Structure 1
């Protein structure tokens, strides 16, 4: 994989991991509440946000499969302190 392509692959994989971790947090009891204004009551938006994040994860997976079909289902494994 060329350096530019490798960097894009790492970027997509890192973003995918982040979104998946957030989905996991929400799916296992995490909650998100927002208020429309400073004095408004908080509204639970966890389910809507979880659905949106799952769609984003699916889109990232599809993009990675399209751009890197030979590595699409692999996870990027970076050695800690692998480059200086």
Structure 2
């Protein structure tokens, strides 16, 4: 897998670095973010959504990304050509 770096939280410090990459080969966005509080994770896990099982599968995670990274996330979305990754 070859990740393409898109951007890092513009207010990142030495100890924190929410980051966005893309994986062109798989057509995926890859995020590094903050771990949620146990309360937030429990709230996410408890949500009942149509067509979605309750809970968070062991193969998935909840991460927090600051809103100030919206432009970086948009750039990552634009960098992936959906036509190359039709499922």
TM value normalised by structure 1: 0.26
Question: Which structure: greater strand fraction?
Answer: 2
Question: Which structure: greater helix fraction?
Answer: 1
Instruction: State which structure, 1 or 2, has the greater radius of gyration over its C-alpha atoms.
Output: 1
